[in-house]
Amino acid sequence: MTDKPTVSDWQALADKESKGRDLTKDMPEGFQVKPLYTAEDSSDPGLPGFAPFTRGVKATMYAGRPWTIRQYAGFSTAEESNAFYRRNLEAGQKGLSVAFDLATHRGYDSDHPRVVGDVGKAGVAIDTVEDMQILFDQIPLDTMSVSMTMNGAVIPVLAFYIVAGEEQGVSPEQLSGTIQNDILKEFMVRNTYIYPPAPSMRIISDIIGYTSANMPKFNSISISGYHMHEAGATAVQELAFTIADGKEYVKSAMETGLDIDAFAGRLSFFFGIGMNFFMEIAKLRAARTLWYKVMDDLGAKSERSKMLRTHCQTSGVSLQEQDPYNNVIRTTVEAMAATLGGTQSLHTNALDEAIALPTDFSARIARNTQLVLQEETGITNVVDPLGGSYYIEALTAKLVEEAEVLMAEVDTLGGMTIAVDSGMPKQRIEEAAAAKQTRIDKAEDVIVGVNKYRLAEEEQIETLEVDNHKVRTGQIARLKKNRESRDEAACQAALKALTEGAKSDGNMLALAVDAARQRATLGEISSAMEEVFGRYDTTPKPVTGIYKSAYEFDKRWAQVLEGVDAVERRLGRKPKIMVAKMGQDGHDRGANVIASAFTDMGFEVISGPLFQTPDETLKMALEHEVDAIGASSLAAGHKTLIPELIDLLKGAGRADIKVVAGGVIPPQDYDFLREAGVQGIYGPGSNVVECGADMLRLLGHNMPPAGDETSDAD
């Protein structure tokens, strides 16, 4: 009988086969992954259903009950969204996840002048209790679990939901579901905030207090790493900052006198799932381990308080405009990672979400992806089927270790509220996002159909378009009817009581429920609190130096730098570009990546504040005497806001200022934008260095084409 091979034997054979090449891989998380893991690399994670819940919060997991299939959706009017929900429920969806439009997120009624291009885009417009009633028409709220992605205007939205339930005959005690209510991550990455951090934290505590007393089936907060993931965070950053956010919320609620075990069992989490398959599986296991430790340290006694229960969503940022049917494959891989990691519910993105809102066709494929995984693969037959994998267990332990280091840094700063206020988490995530983009642009991270195996010609796919003008006109009419039919004196008294409660220690959700019963609108309820707290604003401060170091020896990068120098010599100053975020879309990853890269190229970059109107963008562009404006669009407002900006530039006699557009823009809209005067359009997957080269061409410099390594300096 021969001796059993040892790790040394394997290493010798591997060295021979690889001709001595190092097979370890550097991870964006800051550590290396080896080509082989053995029992010596792993440790016993325990059993499912038992502390620290690494292998799952339930002993039976999917063998007892599969994860909940959710579909995050909402668009246009409450009527159209309701019809979409009912079609999906009939086709096998088990829970609702509501997407609100950006006007609603930011606390504006649809008739507000700042939201002309946002109403009904990227979500459903909700201005009144009646809108909420229509949204859930023929959907029984006593049995349907409803998840609502809402943070800024969380008080009026939750109040409308409670009152809509009451008027459907469903008491608050019967309502089940989740409100996101996670404001700290808004200040880090997503930016759909309304009030400053301190009063926003008080709002969260008020909601936890109200729901603990009145809504025992309802999750008062969903602590979200998803938007950090989408903004470019590494797995370690997403873990550390999300768990640290949760810790901050628990401490804040405890400081109001709430017993930790009275509310902690109703907290939930929300993670993004990307394409690093095993890393994402390990991330969910590490999250459960970390949360158990945090809650144990905070003094929780109930085991339920220490269980991390999570919803997951497949990545949006991994989806591509190019060769979009590849997105079905990406979403399937990510969905498998989420389920093998032990998520409690899941939303799968549709193949066209890098281009436009999902169609019924694409949403059906996304939903059926989950049905196939549940019904055809056998994944649900075994509890934690990857338990015992040396690689998975080692990755889990490493993620826990690295996340705890970053969490300790947050604690040293004084907790997440102070850390967020300092800008540290946002800067770290932006650095990771810029580094990721450089790896994609250099094809070090392969994206099939984008930077490798690119199609010679792209085939357009059918997309869904919302008539923003029609939706807004309908919402304005409904608002007018609401205001004319209500008891105005009772409504104003309820709003005044809310303002006074915000000044003192009144529970703002309870007071907002009273105002909703009197038919106060979402904008009015938000304004009643804004009188006390003010409205929070910020201007992005992109990181620099990431691209410069990554492209130090790249010939194409050198050509762009030479081009910028040539334009500077001609103008007598650096070429100036303004990066503008118009409308209420706060997703600024793309804008920040462009600002970072163009700064490193030598452009003078003016980053406009978030939420500008076209008129405000014009004034800033004229004030800074820019040569070009890059308008970043993610929320489908491009057909309204960008043409308006171009018309304003013409009216100011500055049609010479170039306007380019980037973001999620359907190819079908390209001709419309070009006819409006847009001179460059850059969708997802665009190479940032080539964007810089194209901008130089627009500014009159004769740039060599990509792949031509000659230059004026040769």
pLDDT tens sequence across 514-553: 999 999 999 999 999 999 999 998 777 778 888 888 888 8
Confidence of residue 563 (pLDDT cuts 50, 70, 90): very high
Helix (H/G/I), strand (E/B), else coil: 117: coil
Residue 361 has pLDDT above 80, yes or no: yes
Q: Confirm if 577 and 606 have CB atoms less than 8 A apart.
A: yes
Question: What are the pLDDT digits (tens) for 375-434?
Answer: 999 999 999 999 999 999 999 999 999 999 999 999 999 999 999 988 899 989 988 988
Kindly report the CA angle at 238 between 663 and 356, in degrees rounded to 5?
25
CA–CA gap between residue 283 and residue 281 (Å, rounded): 5
Residue 1 has pLDDT above 60, yes or no: no
pLDDT score, position 712: 41
Token duo for residue 467 = 């008539």
Per DSSP, the residues of 350-399 read: -TTTTTSBPPHHHHHHHHHHHHHHHHHS-GGGSSSTTTT-HHHHHHHHHH
Please give the single-letter amino acid code of residue 137. Answer: D
Residue 684 lies in a domain: yes
CA–CA gap between residue 598 and residue 588 (Å, rounded): 15
The pLDDT of 561-590, averaged and rounded, is: 91
The pLDDT of 226-242, averaged and rounded, is: 95
Closest by CA to 580, choosing from 637, 505, 514, is 637
Q: Which of 105, 121, 185, 227 is catalytic?
A: 227
Confidence of residue 636 (pLDDT cuts 50, 70, 90): low
pTM, to two decimals: 0.85
Question: What are the pLDDT digits (tens) for 93-110?
Answer: 677 888 899 899 999 999
Residue 283 lies in a domain: no
CA–CA gap between residue 564 and residue 561 (Å, rounded): 5
Asked if 94 is an active-site residue, the reply is no
Q: How many CA atoms lie within 13 A of 703 on its CB side?
A: 26
- Evaluate the CA torsion angle 310, 313, 314, 315 in order and state its sign: negative
pLDDT score, position 346: 94
Residue 591: which domain range? 546-699
Q: Compute the mean pLDDT over every residue in the chain, rounded to the nearest whole number.
A: 91
Confidence of residue 74 (pLDDT cuts 50, 70, 90): low
Would residue 666 be called left, alpha or beta, if left means φ above 0 and alpha means ψ between -120 and 50 degrees?
A: beta
CA–CA gap between residue 455 and residue 448 (Å, rounded): 10
Q: Which of 581, 638, 639, 701 is catalytic?
A: 581
Asked if 85 is an active-site residue, the reply is no
Asked if 229 is an active-site residue, the reply is no
Q: Which of 585, 588, 600, 694 is catalytic?
A: 585
How far lies 421's CA from each of 36, 177, 198, 405, 504, in Å? Answer: 42, 30, 10, 20, 24
Question: What are the pLDDT digits (tens) for 106-146?
Answer: 999 999 999 988 898 878 999 999 999 999 999 989 988 89
Q: What are the residues whose beta carbons fall under 8 Å from the beta carbon of 574, sequence distance 6 or more?
A: 564, 568, 602, 603, 604
Q: Confirm if 349 and 314 have CB atoms less than 8 A apart.
A: yes
Name the domain count of the chain: 1
The pLDDT of 70-96, averaged and rounded, is: 79
The pLDDT of 203-224, averaged and rounded, is: 92
What is the number of other CB atoms lying within 10 angstroms of the CB of residue 311? 27
Q: What are the residues whose beta carbons fall under 8 Å from the beta carbon of 601, sequence distance 6 or more?
A: 547, 557, 560, 561, 564, 692
How far lies 561's CA from each of 557, 626, 690, 704, in Å? Answer: 6, 19, 12, 12
Most confidently predicted of 267-276, 314-323, 423-432, 434-443: 267-276
pLDDT score, position 165: 96
pLDDT score, position 708: 61
Residue 666 lies in a domain: yes
Residue 445 phi, psi dihedral angles, 5° rounding? -100, 115
Question: What are the pLDDT digits (tens) for 651-698?
Answer: 999 999 999 999 878 888 899 999 999 999 998 778 889 999 999 999
Asked if 58 is an active-site residue, the reply is no
Q: How many helices (H) and strands (E) does the chain have?
A: 28, 16
Asked if 72 is an active-site residue, the reply is yes
pLDDT score, position 122: 77
Q: Confirm if 373 and 336 have CB atoms less than 8 A apart.
A: yes
Residue 585 phi, psi dihedral angles, 5° rounding? -80, 115
Q: Which of 105, 229, 587, 658 is catalytic?
A: 587
Q: Which of 195, 210, 226, 292 is catalytic?
A: 226
Q: Confirm if 99 and 122 have CB atoms less than 8 A apart.
A: yes
Helix (H/G/I), strand (E/B), else coil: 507: coil
How far lies 226's CA from each of 29, 330, 587, 594, 631, in Å? Answer: 16, 17, 13, 22, 25
Residue 555 lies in a domain: yes
Please give the single-letter amino acid code of residue 517. Answer: R
Most confidently predicted of 219-223, 287-291, 470-474: 287-291
Residue 679 lies in a domain: yes
Residue 713 has pLDDT above 50, yes or no: no
Closest by CA to 404, choosing from 290, 283, 251, is 290
Q: Which of 72, 85, 210, 391 is catalytic?
A: 72
The pLDDT of 76-82, averaged and rounded, is: 86
The pLDDT of 635-652, averaged and rounded, is: 88
Q: Which residues of 511-525 are buried (b: 16+ CB within 10 A; e: fewer)?
A: bbbbbbbbbbbbbbb
Question: What are the pLDDT digits (tens) for 454-480?
Answer: 888 888 887 777 778 899 999 999 999
Asked if 37 is an active-site residue, the reply is no
CA–CA gap between residue 543 and residue 685 (Å, rounded): 21
Q: Confirm if 120 and 393 have CB atoms less than 8 A apart.
A: no
Confidence of residue 321 (pLDDT cuts 50, 70, 90): confident
DSSP β-bridge partners for residue 576 = 604
CA–CA gap between residue 178 and residue 133 (Å, rounded): 18
The tokens 């120098």 sit on which residue? Answer: 565
Residue 572 lies in a domain: yes
Closest by CA to 640, choosing from 676, 607, 605, is 676
Name the residue with higher pLDDT: 512 or 43: 512
H/E stretch holding 632: strand 628-633
Pinpoint the alpha helices (H) of 24-176. 61-64, 78-90, 102-105, 129-135, 154-167
Q: What is the CATH number of the domain that holds 565?
A: 3.40.50.280
Pairing label, strands 267-273, 628-633: unpaired
Question: What are the pLDDT digits (tens) for 252-261?
Answer: 889 989 899 9
Residue 661 lies in a domain: yes
Residue 711 has pLDDT above 50, yes or no: no
Q: What are the residues whose beta carbons fall under 8 Å from the beta carbon of 325, sequence distance 6 or more?
A: 351
Confidence of residue 714 (pLDDT cuts 50, 70, 90): very low
Q: What are the residues whose beta carbons fall under 8 Å from the beta carbon of 300, sequence distance 6 or more?
A: 260, 261, 264, 306
pLDDT score, position 678: 96
CA–CA gap between residue 140 and residue 154 (Å, rounded): 22
Residue 569 has pLDDT above 60, yes or no: yes
Residue 707 lies in a domain: no
